[in-house]
Amino acid sequence: MDNNTQQLSRRVQNLAVSATLAMSQKSAELKASGVDVINLSVGEPDFNTPDHIKAAARRAIDDNFSFYSPVPGFMSLRKAVADKLSRENALSFAPEQIVVGNGAKQALCNVVLTLVNPGDEVVIPVPAWVSYTEMVKLAEGTPVLVSAGIDSDFKITPEQLEAAITPATRAIIICSPSNPTGSVYSRDELQALVAVLARHPRVIVIADEIYEHINFTGSFTSLGSFPEIADRTVIINGVSKAYAMTGWRIGYCAAPLWLAKGVTKLQGQYTSGASSIAQKAAEAAYTGPQDCVAEMCAAFRRRRDLVVKLASAIPGLKVNRPEGAFYLFPEVSAYMGTTAPDGSVIATSGDLAMYLLREAHVATVDGAAFSAPGYIRLSYATSDEAIREALARIADALARLRK
Ligand code: PMP
Ligand code: GLU
């Protein structure tokens, strides 16, 4: 901590640095210094944005979409999102219930800041994406973590959910397909969780469906499709993952009207409407041809098979078979307490991730960042060749650890 850190607000002092972004940054710095690093840390598709979407952005520039956009987004985009939700998920949201933000990340943070009062509890099944707990902390709420390990395919049970809900519970954040585990709740599993939530009408259900289309089960059930909770379910989604548009920064929430209005008020004070050009590109993504989505999903599925096969063959790594997203979340506790060739001790999964970066030049993310110490996350959104090379390097480096 440098001397000035104490001048920061307690809000920011208490915030964890985003480990996914930090590890990716570290890996980029090493690469720039000439080290041949394979980056399996940040989770983003390695594909380029499809051409028809890029063309729409160029047109938007030429057509002078260069002015402030409405705070909740262009009506044409909100209509395109409402149509998407109707067409793909059989959900009926009016465009007025949709608020577009700078990525699903802001959409989610908006919802949390709009809903949560100091002391309110937000239930978060973990392992969970790094930012959920921090967003709840920003709102001065209390994250209530409900843990599911690899033996239950990282899925919580209805009993666990019931036990976590108290009179102070304001919301639950559910992510399926999941970052960081790739697990996908089936319709029946969701139905069982919904039966619990139906008994707690005060709890707002926040469904992070950003990995909807990177799903190898052949079917996707939106949490918004259960009538028991539909009027208090908020859908979070966006174009980053389905259309390979992480840098364009467009996501949205689809929410009850009262909440969408609150989110718009908040966004109007601190970021305004999202980039006008990126919104026009997102509109083209939702209204244009959809083959690119299935093609990218097929590539991720092939890579899933590859990474599972290679990781399963490494002694001491315990892996499941992820059904979606592009992450593998192996349990690595067999390596805790080992010693590296340079004499350093691997006491935690964080030590192991740093060892892999140092020795194997492979960037991964410590499971602790996802509230699951004892695991590491590998993002396999990269070429087959890079996956093969990375897993071979990991196998070699792990073989050099001594008990
Ligand atoms: N939710 C989850 C689970 C994610 O993995 C991500 C990717 N960082 C996001 C939300 C945010 O995505 P974006 O802001 O790029 O739309
Ligand atoms: N979703 C990605 C990840 O988990 C992007 C980085 C981030 O926003 O956390 O790596």
Mutate to test the pocket of ligand 1, among 240, 252, 371, 379 (most ligand atoms within 8 A of CB): 240
pTM of the full structure: 0.96
Closest C-alpha among 239, 241, 172, 176 to residue 208: 176
Atom of ligand 1 nearest to the CA of 106: 14
- In the block, residue with structure tokens 């259960």: 226
212 lines ligand 1 (CB under 6 A): no
Q: What is the pLDDT of residues 300-320, one digit of tens each?
A: 999 999 999 999 999 999 999
**Can you tell me the mean pLDDT for 360-364?**
96
Q: Which residues contact 188 (CB under 8 A, 6 or more apart)?
A: none
Q: Provide the pLDDT for residue 2.
A: 66
Atom of ligand 2 nearest to the CA of 105: 8
Ligand at shortest distance from the CA of 246: 1
Q: Provide the pLDDT for residue 50.
A: 97
Q: What is the pLDDT of residues 239-257, one digit of tens each?
A: 999 999 999 999 999 999 9
Say how many Å lie between the CA of residue 199 and the centre of ligand 2: 33
Q: Provide the pLDDT for residue 1.
A: 55
Please report how many Cα atoms fall inside a 13 Å half-sphere around the Cα of residue 359, on the Cβ side.
Answer: 24
Q: 113 and 268 in contact (C-beta within 8 Å)? A: no
Nearest CA to ligand 2 atom 5: 43
Q: What is the pLDDT of residues 157-206, one digit of tens each?
A: 999 999 999 999 999 999 999 999 999 999 999 999 999 999 999 999 99
Atom of ligand 2 nearest to the CA of 130: 9
Core vs surface per residue 89-126: b (16+ CB within 10 A) or e: bebebebebbbbbbbbbbbbbbbbbbbbeeebbbbbbb
Atom of ligand 1 nearest to the CA of 251: 16
Pocket of ligand 2 (CB under 6 A): 18, 20-21, 42-44, 105, 129-131, 179
Q: What is the DSSP letter of 156?
A: -
Mean of the per-residue pLDDT values of the chain: 96
Give the whole-angstrom CA distance, residue 402 versus residue 340.
Answer: 7
CA 195 to chain CA centroid, nearest Å: 25
Q: For the residues of 356-381, what is the DSSP string, one character each?
A: IIIII-EE-EEGGGGT-TTBEEEE--
